[in-house]
C-alpha cells in the first residue's frame, strides 16, 4: 500500500473520531496522529532525493562588430588665427639684455630684439583671415586644431601669390582630383577655385584643410579599424600636420610629396593598377550565383554557365581531353556523372581541391566576382593597407586569412608559402600585427579562458574529474598542481582562478611546435594533428590560431635554421628557442591581394568583414559631404 492509500484509508477513521462517532479517547487520538504523520516522515526519509541539476554554465562572449561611428566635423576657428599679435611698426622693438658665458672674466652683455622687424606680408595675411569671421569651414577635429596651431606661428600664404593660385596649389589640386585612383573619393578634397585677391584667405584655409585630409587619409585610411569590431587591433598612426604644411610651403615637387603618403609597397602599386584596369573593363557577360553549391546528380540553371566559362578559359590540352564531353552536355542543367571529371580537372587547374563539388570557392575561381564586387574588394584592400606600416619589413611573415595562406618574405621576395587553417566565423582570427619572438618545441597548450569557459566548463559542471580523465593539468594561483575533481567548478562563474594546459604528446592540439608572437588575443602559429583539413579549399576550423601545413619549414625560416636543424631539435624534449632577431608578422584580412607576379587573387569574404568596411567608408563620406 502506498503512503497516499494508507493516508486515504485512515482519513474516515480520523474524521469519525473527531466527530465523536467513535469512542476514541485522548490517547487514541494522539496515537492516530503519530501513526499518520510519523509514517509520512519516515516515507520521505526513505525516498531518494531528486538529483539537483547543475546551474547553467556561463559563456565568454566573442568580440562584436560595431555600428561604425564617425566623429563630427568641427568649425575651423579663424578668430584664433586672426588673434595673432601684430608686430610693431618701425625698425626694432623693445630690447632686453641676455648674459652669455665668456672666456674672459666678467659678464658679456648682448642686446637682442624681442621681435623681428615689421612684416607687411604677415600683417596682410592676418588681416585677410580676420575677414573670414562669417565664413564656415569644417574639418576633422585634429586637422582644425593643426590649422590654427600652424597659422598662428607661421602666418602666410602657401597656395596663392598676388591673389592667384600658385604652382603649389595647381599641383596639389591635380593630385586631389585624382584621389579615385587610390580608392578615395575626390569630392572629399574638393576646393572651390580662387576667385580673386579678396578670396585668397578662404582659398588658403580650404586648401590646407583638404590637403591635410588627403595626407591623413593616405597615411592611415579614412576609417578607424578599431571602431569596426573587437577583432581589429591597430594603434592609430600619427600624422604630423605641421611638418606637412611646412614642407608644402616651400615645396616644388608637390605631387611627389603628396603621393608619397600612400603605402609604398609593390602590392599597393599592383592594387592601383588593378583598380584602373577594372574600371576600364566591361562587366562580366556570364554571371554565376556566388553562393552556388552543386553536387553530382543535382541540377541548376547556373551549371551550363560554369561549363561555358570552363570552355572559354581552357587551354588546348584541357579542351583536347574534356572539350567533347562539354559539347555533349548541350547546355543541360543536370550535373551528370560523366561531367564530374571535367569539374575536377577545372578545380585542379585552379589550385583547388579536386572533389567535384561546385561550391563558392569553385565558382569564384571559375566565374570570378562581378566587376562591382571586385572593385569593392580592391578599394577595401587599399584602405586596409593604410592600417599597416607604409613599408612592410623586408623580412616578415604575412598571414592572409581569407586566402588561408601564410607566406614568409625575405629581402622583399616570397621564400615560402603554405596553406593554413584559421578561425571559424564564431572564433575568428583577429586582424593585427606583431613580432615573432620564439619557437616552442613539443609545446604545452595553455587553454585560453574563452575556450575553457565555453567548451570545457559545461563538461566540468557534469563531471569535475573530466580534465583529470583526459590528461590535462590544472594549477592554482600559486602554480601548484591540483586535481580537477577537487575543484567546485560551479563556484566561480566565468572567472576561473585556475590555469589549465594540455601536456606535450601525440594528442596535443598544437602538434610538435608553436611559433609565438605573444599578444593579448592569444593567437599564434602552430602544428596540428588534424592534417586532413589542409586538403579542403575553405579552411576556417580553428579556435582562432593559425595552423600551418608545414610548420617545420616556417620554424626553420624564422629561426634562420635548416630544416635538418629543426628536425634534430624535435628529437629533444619540450623547450623554447628564441629568435636571434624578431620577425614582424602581419595577421591580415584581404579578399583582394596581389600574387608574386602582380596579378590579383580574389577570395570569398569568409567572415563577412568587407561589408563593415564599406559601410564605414560610406558613413564617413556622408559626414564629410556637407563640408566638401
50-77 per-position pLDDT tens digit? 566 778 888 889 999 999 999 999 999 9
Q: Which of 338, 333, 376 minimizes the C-alpha distance to 356?
A: 338
373-385 per-position pLDDT tens digit? 999 999 999 999 9
Domain hosting 165: range is: 74-85+119-274
Query: Within this chain, do residues 460 and 606 fall inside the same structural domain, yes or no?
Result: yes
Query: Within this chain, do residues 238 and 337 fall inside the same structural domain, yes or no?
Result: no
Among the candidates 320, 337, 367, a domain finishes at 367
Residue 457 falls inside a structural domain: yes
How confident is the model at residue 480, as a pLDDT?
Answer: 94
Q: Is the pLDDT score of 12 beyond 90?
A: no
Q: What is the tally of structural domains in the chain?
A: 4
Query: Within this chain, do residues 163 and 268 fall inside the same structural domain, yes or no?
Result: yes
% of the chain beyond a pLDDT of 70:
86
445-463 per-position pLDDT tens digit? 999 999 999 999 999 999 9
Residue 124 falls inside a structural domain: yes
CATH of the domain at 449: 2.40.440.10
Query: Within this chain, do residues 426 and 346 fall inside the same structural domain, yes or no?
Result: no
By mean pLDDT, which of 91-105, 117-131, 185-199, 249-263 is the weakest? 91-105
For the residues of 123-168, what is the DSSP string, one character each? Answer: HHHHHHHHTTTT---EE-HHHHHHHHHHHHHS-S-SSEETTEE-HH
The residue behind cell 672674466 is 105
pLDDT band at 350 (very low <50, low <70, confident <90, very high): confident
Among the candidates 274, 302, 320, a domain finishes at 274
Query: Within this chain, do residues 167 and 266 fall inside the same structural domain, yes or no?
Result: yes
Residue 101 falls inside a structural domain: no
Residue 65 falls inside a structural domain: no
CA 400/CA 431 separation, integer angstroms: 9
Q: Is the pLDDT score of 176 beyond 70?
A: yes
Q: Is the pLDDT score of 368 beyond 90?
A: no
CATH of the domain at 308: 1.10.101.10
Residue 50 falls inside a structural domain: no
Query: Within this chain, do residues 361 and 411 fall inside the same structural domain, yes or no?
Result: no
Query: Within this chain, do residues 537 and 439 fall inside the same structural domain, yes or no?
Result: yes
How confident is the model at residue 85, as a pLDDT?
Answer: 64
Q: Is residue 530 within a helix (H) or strand (E), and if so which, with residue range?
A: none
CA 279/CA 283 separation, integer angstroms: 9
Residue 95 falls inside a structural domain: no
Among the candidates 314, 334, 367, a domain finishes at 367
100-126 per-position pLDDT tens digit? 333 344 433 333 334 446 678 888 899
How confident is the model at residue 23, as a pLDDT?
Answer: 44
Residue 104 falls inside a structural domain: no
Strand partners, 441: 513, 575
Q: Is the pLDDT score of 257 beyond 70?
A: yes
Query: Within this chain, do residues 331 and 228 fall inside the same structural domain, yes or no?
Result: no
Given a contact cutoff of 8 angstroms between Cβ atoms, the answer to whether 225 and 63 are in contact is no
Residue 515 falls inside a structural domain: yes
DSSP alpha helix (H) spans, 315-462: 316-329, 340-349, 360-367, 371-385, 449-451, 457-462
Query: Within this chain, do residues 412 and 515 fall inside the same structural domain, yes or no?
Result: yes
Query: Within this chain, do residues 330 and 217 fall inside the same structural domain, yes or no?
Result: no
Query: Within this chain, do residues 169 and 298 fall inside the same structural domain, yes or no?
Result: no
Query: Within this chain, do residues 231 and 128 fall inside the same structural domain, yes or no?
Result: yes
Amino acid at each position: 500500500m502506498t503512503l497516499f492509500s494508507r493516508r486515504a484509508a485512515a482519513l474516515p477513521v480520523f474524521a469519525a473520531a473527531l466527530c465523536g462517532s467513535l469512542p476514541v479517547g485522548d490517547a487514541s487520538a494522539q496515537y492516530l496522529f503519530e501513526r499518520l504523520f510519523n509514517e509520512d516522515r519516515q516515507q520521505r526519509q526513505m525516498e531518494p532525493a531528486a538529483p539537483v541539476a547543475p546551474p547553467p554554465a556561463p559563456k565568454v562572449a566573442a568580440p562584436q562588430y560595431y555600428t561604425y561611428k564617425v566623429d563630427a566635423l568641427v568649425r575651423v576657428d579663424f578668430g584664433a588665427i586672426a588673434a595673432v599679435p601684430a608686430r610693431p611698426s618701425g625698425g626694432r622693438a623693445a630690447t632686453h639684455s641676455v648674459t652669455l658665458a665668456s672666456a674672459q672674466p666678467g659678464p658679456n652683455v648682448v642686446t637682442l630684439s624681442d621681435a623681428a622687424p615689421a612684416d607687411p606680408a604677415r600683417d596682410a595675411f592676418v588681416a585677410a583671415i580676420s575677414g573670414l569671421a562669417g565664413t564656415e569651414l569644417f574639418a576633422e577635429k585634429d586637422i582644425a586644431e593643426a590649422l590654427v596651431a600652424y597659422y598662428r606661428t607661421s602666418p602666410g600664404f602657401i597656395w596663392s601669390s598676388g591673389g592667384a593660385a600658385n604652382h603649389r596649389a595647381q599641383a596639389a589640386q591635380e593630385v586631389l582630383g585624382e584621389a579615385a585612383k587610390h580608392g578615395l573619393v575626390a569630392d572629399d578634397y574638393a576646393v572651390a577655385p580662387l576667385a580673386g585677391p579678396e578670396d585668397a584667405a578662404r582659398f588658403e584655409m580650404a586648401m590646407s584643410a583638404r590637403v591635410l585630409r588627403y595626407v591623413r587619409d593616405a597615411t592611415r585610411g579614412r576609417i578607424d579599424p578599431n571602431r569596426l569590431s573587437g577583432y581589429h587591433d591597430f594603434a592609430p598612426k600619427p600624422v604630423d600636420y605641421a611638418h606637412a604644411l611646412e614642407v608644402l610651403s616651400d615645396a616644388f615637387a608637390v605631387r611627389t610629396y603628396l603621393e608619397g603618403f600612400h603605402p609604398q609597397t609593390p602590392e599597393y602599386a599592383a592594387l592601383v593598377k588593378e583598380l584602373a584596369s577594372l574600371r576600364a573593363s566591361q562587366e562580366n557577360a556570364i554571371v554565376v550565383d556566388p553562393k552556388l553549391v552543386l553536387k553530382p546528380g543535382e541540377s541548376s540553371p547556373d551549371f551550363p554557365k560554369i561549363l561555358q566559362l570552363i570552355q572559354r578559359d581552357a587551354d588546348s590540352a584541357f579542351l583536347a581531353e574534356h572539350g567533347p564531353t562539354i559539347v555533349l552536355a548541350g547546355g543541360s542543367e543536370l550535373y551528370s556523372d560523366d561531367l564530374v571529371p571535367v569539374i575536377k580537372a577545372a578545380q585542379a587547374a585552379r589550385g583547388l581541391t579536386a572533389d567535384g563539388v561546385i561550391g563558392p570557392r569553385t565558382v569564384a575561381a571559375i566565374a570570378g566576382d562581378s566587376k562591382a564586387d571586385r572593385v569593392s574588394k580592391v578599394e577595401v584592400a587599399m584602405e586596409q593597407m593604410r592600417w599597416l606600416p607604409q613599408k612592410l619589413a623586408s623580412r616578415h611573415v604575412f598571414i592572409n586569412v581569407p586566402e588561408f595562406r601564410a607566406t614568409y618574405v625575405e629581402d622583399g621576395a616570397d621564400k615560402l608559402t603554405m596553406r593554413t587553417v584559421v578561425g571559424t566565423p564564431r572564433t575568428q582570427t583577429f586582424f593585427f600585427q606583431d613580432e615573432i619572438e620564439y619557437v616552442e618545441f613539443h609545446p604545452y597548450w595553455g587553454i585560453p579562458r574563452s575556450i575553457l569557459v565555453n567548451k570545457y566548463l559545461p563538461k566540468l559542471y557534469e563531471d569535475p574529474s573530466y580534465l583529470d580523465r583526459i590528461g590535462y593539468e590544472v594549477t592554482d594561483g600559486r602554480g601548484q598542481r591540483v586535481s580537477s575533481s577537487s575543484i567546485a567548478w560551479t563556484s566561480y562563474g566565468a572567472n576561473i582562478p585556475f590555469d589549465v594546459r594540455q601536456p606535450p604528446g601525440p594528442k596535443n592540439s598544437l602538434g610538435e611546435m608553436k611559433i609565438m608572437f605573444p599578444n593579448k588575443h592569444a593567437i599564434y602559429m602552430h602544428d596540428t594533428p588534424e592534417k586532413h583539413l589542409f586538403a579542403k579549399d575553405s579552411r576556417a576550423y580553428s579556435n582562432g590560431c593559425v595552423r600551418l601545413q608545414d610548420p617545420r619549414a616556417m620554424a626553420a625560416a624564422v629561426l634562420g635554421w635548416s630544416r635538418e636543424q629543426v628536425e634534430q631539435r624535435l628529437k629533444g624534449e619540450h623547450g623554447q628557442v628564441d629568435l636571434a632577431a624578431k620577425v614582424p608578422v602581419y595577421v591580415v584580412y584581404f579578399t583582394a591581394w596581389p600574387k608574386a607576379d602582380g596579378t590579383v587573387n580574389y577570395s570569398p569574404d569568409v567572415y563577412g568583414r568587407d561589408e563593415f568596411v564599406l559601410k564605414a567608408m560610406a558613413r564617413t563620406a556622408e559626414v564629410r559631404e556637407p563640408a566638401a
